[in-house]
Chain A
Amino acid sequence: MQNIEDLQEQLCRILTPFVPDGLDLQAETDLVADLDLDSMKVMDIVVDVEDHFDISIPLNILPDVRTIGDFVLQLQTLLKEEA
């Protein structure tokens, strides 16, 4: 199983192209408020995350994802289920 730090690092790498220049990504970074992500960008990110981890992200987890940390926890659960 992948540990939290690894997952966070991979997720941040995926997020980088979508992020304003020079912004430091932390577990507490709020995806919507801090990263200016509108719904179309969110879809692009979900595609990249699905492709990178080879998983399918159910639509119904998104409403409870606010921060990078939330996203990482959901990813960990999903990867565990896939394994």
Chain B
Amino acid sequence: MEATPTENNLPLRYEGFSSLAEALDYAAQGKTGYNFYNGKGELDVVVPYARLRDQAQDLARRLLGLEVERGARVALVADTHPDFLRFFYACQYAGLIPVPLPASIHLGGHKTYIKQLHRLLINCQASIAVAPPTFIPFLSEAAEGLNLRFVGSSEDFADLPKATDKLKPLEAKELAYLQYTSGSTRFPRGVMITQETVMDNLANIARHGVKGRPNDRCMSWLPFFHDMGLVGLVLAPMASQTSVDYLSTRDFAMRPRLWLKLITQNRSTISFSPPFGFELCVKRLRKDDINKFDLSSWRLAGVGAETIRAEPLMRFADLLAPAGFTKNALVACYGMAECSLAVSFAPVDRGINVDRVNGEHLAESQKALPVKDAHGSDAAIAKSFVICGAPLPGYDVEVRDDHGRKLPDRHCGTLFVRGPSVMSGYFGEQELTQEILSSDGWLNTGDLAYRIADNIVITGRKKDLIIINGRNIWPQDMEYLAEQQPEFRTGDASAFSVSDPNGEDIAVLVIECRETHEAKRNNLVNRLQAEIRTELGIDCFIELVPRNTLPKTTSGKLSRSGARKDFLKRVADGQTQDPFNAVHAETLMKKAV
């Protein structure tokens, strides 16, 4: 077996496709394609775009044989597996809407995963649901009681009859897919992206973001159910006729050196990761691993999906410099599923650039004033932010204050974007859509930012989102788990994150508690921590506070930012245990044993 080649026999074409099906029709004329590697780093499955197109069209006819209406949703458990790609593109040819579902499961997390799949199947009103064979037991259980036309694996499709009608692929104005924001498991939001929307973003990513070259080859371990994994490393390479090598997310998390081994072996030029991936490599690589790698081909190491800090990336660059990694390859990006994927890219070949500003001014007046001497007298008050580059062509960008007024350069506020890559809305959630997408097309990103001329600098992420080990955790999911305990009621809990001295996030849950008995309180905390680990796979610091401690907004809703502020004050005043000691010291102690 041989992987698909890097060099293509087809003129590269980045633009002018009206749909994903049209882009695949073109890519299928060349020799490039998708390649899958197993947990030992061995080549497992090769799917050239040409073969993928044939397989997708064959499957499309079988999907149509199920006689569902055009635009019906096909839920796909998006494990890193060639079947996902076959079905995703089959939907494109069949006029059906693919909906990638998460394939991440935790130790002891059977029930949680079933519930999550169940909610998503309901939310997208799926007619058909497909999973690789190993996930079928979960999918079947999740689909119980739902009136789906068909639930099965690729193997089951071989027995289905084929429709003989001519295939009518999804067209420019039709949806391309529904993307669940890598968000709340309990309150899912399915981003609706049309063909013309995603095609616009893909063309801009290739032309202006990564500045595609004929010898490009991509490498990815990002999950297929995340925007960066799906749009950035599945759709974008296909739409620019580029070969990709895949390693499953789990295999990367277990053995991060495989990422670098495959880049070395395949002479990959483009690979993306959240900061977490680079940090994991730094933690796990052994000295004698380094000289086994040759990363000199890696011209673009994209970083996105979380708040980017320069220091851990520099540690990665320094560690791997002897293996030929150049720190200029690092490219900071900013984007979100609601914008298909990418909003801005820092320029390629320039590395990570930071803006050092006066932290006191920023906190007091929301002005990001540059400090002159970051290593001298200003060092103590300097705060560094990574510059995420200029918006891709077609985007209008504004930073606004809380009253909706447009702010000038270097004033920090909420980032709004408008342009042809922005979503049509959340599926079946008109109210949620109206909250963040105005009738004239402006999307409230929820991120805090300032601008320096064309450049976007993100200073804080979507207010409430918690990111632990590269995974997005929504505070409402943690609060819900607390409120499910018999001791608590709805509105008793507030969740948020604080960063420890190393800049790592710690999840915090503050709960109003009537119980005064010490042992019972401890028991309650332990029980809840265990449930949060089972359901969400993270450690959490829990603080029990007296009734009426949590601050409310004027409309009577709990204020998470207020709760966070109060909490930090209590920590500073010594009124509560310090989570850096409680959680962090505990981890450190365990590691030392």
A interface residues, Cβ below 8 angstroms from B = 17-18, 20-21, 30-34, 36-40, 42-43, 46-47, 50, 56, 58-60, 62-66
Evaluate whether A65 and B107 lie within 8 angstroms (CB atoms) in the complex, with A17-B593, A33-B530 already known: yes
In angstroms, Cα B585 to Cα A20, docked, is: 13
Chain A residues with CB under 8 A of B106? 32, 39, 42, 62-63
B105 interface contact, C-beta 8 A: yes
Chain B residues with CB under 8 A of A64? 108, 110
B172 interface contact, C-beta 8 A: no
- Contact with B255, one of A39, A42, A47 (Cβ below 8 angstroms): A47
Chain B residues with CB under 8 A of A39? 106-107, 469, 471, 537-538
Contact A38 B138 (CB under 8 A): no
Contact A40 B469 (CB under 8 A): yes
| A–B pairs, 14, beta carbons within 8 Å | A20-B590, A31-B107, A32-B106, A38-B469, A38-B539, A39-B107, A39-B537, A40-B469, A42-B106, A43-B250, A60-B137, A63-B105, A63-B138, A64-B110
- Contact with A38, one of B108, B113, B533 (Cβ below 8 angstroms): B533
B571 interface contact, C-beta 8 A: no
Chain A residues with CB under 8 A of B135? 60
User: Which residues of chain B (133-154) have a CB below 8 Å from chain A?
Assistant: 134-135, 137-138
Instruction: Classify chain B: how many residues form its interface, as a range.
Output: 20 to 34
In angstroms, Cα B107 to Cα A26, docked, is: 17
B188 interface contact, C-beta 8 A: no
In angstroms, Cα B106 to Cα A31, docked, is: 11
* Interface flags, B96-132, vs A, CB<8A=1, else 0: 0000000001111110010000000000000000000
In angstroms, Cα B135 to Cα A31, docked, is: 23
- Contact with A60, one of B134, B529, B530, B590 (Cβ below 8 angstroms): B134
In angstroms, Cα B40 to Cα A50, docked, is: 12
B154 smallest CB distance to A (angstroms): 16
B interface residues, Cβ below 8 angstroms from A = 39, 105-110, 113, 134-135, 137-138, 250, 253-255, 469, 471, 526, 529-530, 533-534, 537-539, 590, 593
Contact A65 B108 (CB under 8 A): yes
The 9 closest A-B pairs by CB, nearest first: A33-B530, A39-B537, A63-B110, A66-B108, A60-B134, A43-B253, A63-B105, A47-B254, A32-B108
Chain A residues with CB under 8 A of B134? 58-60
> Assuming A43-B253, A65-B108, what are 15 further A-B pairs, CB within 8 angstroms?
A20-B590, A31-B108, A33-B534, A38-B469, A42-B106, A42-B107, A42-B537, A46-B254, A47-B255, A59-B134, A60-B105, A60-B138, A63-B105, A63-B107, A64-B110
Contact A43 B105 (CB under 8 A): no
Residue of B nearest to A58 (CB): B134
Chain A residues with CB under 8 A of B590? 18, 20
Contact A63 B109 (CB under 8 A): yes
Contact B539 A62 (CB under 8 A): no
Contact A30 B530 (CB under 8 A): yes
Chain B residues with CB under 8 A of A62? 105-109
Contact A37 B254 (CB under 8 A): no
Contact A36 B250 (CB under 8 A): no
Chain B residues with CB under 8 A of A36? 529, 533, 539
In angstroms, Cα B589 to Cα A21, docked, is: 9
In angstroms, Cα B105 to Cα A63, docked, is: 6
In angstroms, Cα B134 to Cα A31, docked, is: 23
Chain A residues with CB under 8 A of B108? 30-32, 62-66
Chain A residues with CB under 8 A of B253? 40, 43
Contact A63 B255 (CB under 8 A): no
In angstroms, Cα B471 to Cα A47, docked, is: 20
Contact A37 B593 (CB under 8 A): no
In angstroms, Cα B138 to Cα A48, docked, is: 26
Evaluate whether A32 and B255 lie within 8 angstroms (CB atoms) in the complex, with A58-B134, A63-B110, A63-B113 already known: no
Chain B residues with CB under 8 A of A58? 134
A8 smallest CB distance to B (angstroms): 17
Contact B105 A32 (CB under 8 A): no
Contact B109 A59 (CB under 8 A): no
A22 smallest CB distance to B (angstroms): 10
Among A21, A33, A65, A66, residue most surrounded by chain B Cβ atoms (within 10 Å): A33
In angstroms, Cα B41 to Cα A56, docked, is: 13
Chain A residues with CB under 8 A of B538? 38-39
- Contact with B39, one of A40, A42, A56, A65 (Cβ below 8 angstroms): A56
Contact A59 B250 (CB under 8 A): yes
Residue of B nearest to A67 (CB): B108
Contact A21 B539 (CB under 8 A): no
In angstroms, Cα B124 to Cα A69, docked, is: 38
Contact A21 B107 (CB under 8 A): no
In angstroms, Cα B537 to Cα A31, docked, is: 12
In angstroms, Cα B108 to Cα A34, docked, is: 12
- Contact with B533, one of A20, A21, A33 (Cβ below 8 angstroms): A33
A70 smallest CB distance to B (angstroms): 8
B586 smallest CB distance to A (angstroms): 8
In angstroms, Cα B127 to Cα A26, docked, is: 45
Residue of B nearest to A20 (CB): B590
Chain A residues with CB under 8 A of B593? 17, 21
Evaluate whether A43 and B533 lie within 8 angstroms (CB atoms) in the complex, with A31-B108, A62-B105 already known: no
In angstroms, Cα B134 to Cα A62, docked, is: 12
Contact A32 B534 (CB under 8 A): yes
Chain A residues with CB under 8 A of B530? 30, 32-34
Residue of B nearest to A63 (CB): B110
Residue of A nearest to B470 (CB): A40
Chain A residues with CB under 8 A of B109? 62-63
In angstroms, Cα B106 to Cα A32, docked, is: 10
Contact B539 A43 (CB under 8 A): no
In angstroms, Cα B254 to Cα A32, docked, is: 18
Residue of A nearest to B108 (CB): A66
